[in-house]
Amino acid sequence: MLVRRRQQRELRPALRRKSRLSPLASLALRGVLVVVLLAIIVTVHWVDRKGLHDLVDGQVSLGDVLYFTMITVTTVGYGDIVPVTARARLFDTFLVTPIRLFVWLIFLGTAYDFIFRRAWDRWRMKLIQSRLHSHIVVAGYGTSGTEAVAELIRRGTPPEAIVVIDPRASAIEEAEEAGVNHLQGDASRNAVLEAAAIARARAVIISAGRDDTSILIVLTARQLAPNALITVVIRSVENEDLARQAGANSVVNPVSLAGLLVAGATHGSHIPEYLRDLATAEGKVALVERPVTAAEIGRPLSAITTGVGMRLYRNGRSHGYWEGETQSLQPGDIILEIVRGTGTGNTASDGK
């Protein structure tokens, strides 16, 4: 769904450009606009001062015009100076009143942009950070990152338990539509990862688009989150070992994986379909990794009842279901099994 939405957005390109105005220049521009609007009102009031009447001394001076303009624009007036001719009243009705509303919008917008929004954003960021525990950080929201987030959500991960980091504003907009937490910035910087509460994250997915950037993010993430499970997308085979040395627990090479699937299809057209069925949460079957339970200790891998045991991990080494090590499960073993999926699948498979 997220990929389809992304494709639809790409069909409606939006022309954007970063504003050249600094916050101070933007504030000055708004101030100049207010002064120009006030000058217009003062000028018209002064030219048509005979349409005004001062209840105090009966004379309307330039000071009275300035006073009347400011009071009229900022409030509804005190009644000491009033328009008495039809032309003056029409001018106040159709020009001064809209300008009054516009000036107030400028004041309120400026206060929101420079005071309230920043304070609100800081407070909201602290609130979100305080609630982030055992979450998943996704560094890079390109094609791989988008697919990863979509699959995580399909597998039951709440969107609020996912934090997306990307330097591109367009990617952040898409992450916001997905309902996940998002942070625009460079994930290789300590401050950005710390803002994502990476020290409390249970997993980190890195897909920065460039191998050198991804490996740098792995180094930074491993330093800040020594216990997190880090998975990185690497596109060059030569860089896979570097990624592991940097601290990645898992390295995924989409180019090599695609080649394996294509080669597998030459030996059977259903092989790629079944592998995809295993990988997605919408398939008829699913591949699950879990620790051995107390009730399973001492029993063979083939005797587990939760699924079909395919592989056993013991002391960092893998053992196939046909090897002797799988004949007696031990405490600390990790089981890789095929279980029944929650979806209907899109293959011709019917289980195993």
The reply to whether CATH 3.50.50.60 applies to domain 269-340 is: no
DSSP per-residue letters across 107-164: HHHHHIIIIIHHHHHHHHHHHHHHH--S-EEEE--SHHHHHHHHHHHHTT--GGGEEE
Lowest mean pLDDT segment, chosen from 45-49, 237-241, 269-273, 321-325: 269-273
pLDDT exceeds cutoff 50 at 12: no
The CATH fold of domain 23-129: Helix Hairpins (1.10.287)
pTM of the entire predicted model: 0.60
pLDDT number for residue 259:
72
Angle in degrees, CA 298, 300, 301, rounded to 5? 125
The string of pLDDT tens digits covering residues 67-95 is 888 888 877 677 778 888 888 888 888 88
Q: Which numeric CATH code is attached to 133-256? A: 3.40.50.720
DSSP per-residue letters across 250-311: EEE-HHHHHHHHHHHHTT-TTHHHHHHHHHSTTSSEEEEEEEPPGGGTTS-GGG-SSSEEEE
Report the distance separating Cα 140 and Cα 148, nearest Å. Answer: 10
CB contact at 8 A, 253 and 308: no
DSSP state, residue 178 = T
The string of pLDDT tens digits covering residues 154-188 is 888 999 999 999 999 999 999 989 999 999 999 99
pLDDT above 90 as % of the chain = 42
Report the distance separating Cα 81 and Cα 52, nearest Å. Answer: 7
Q: Where are the domains of the chain?
A: 23-129, 133-256, 269-340
Report the distance separating Cα 352 and Cα 338, nearest Å. Answer: 8
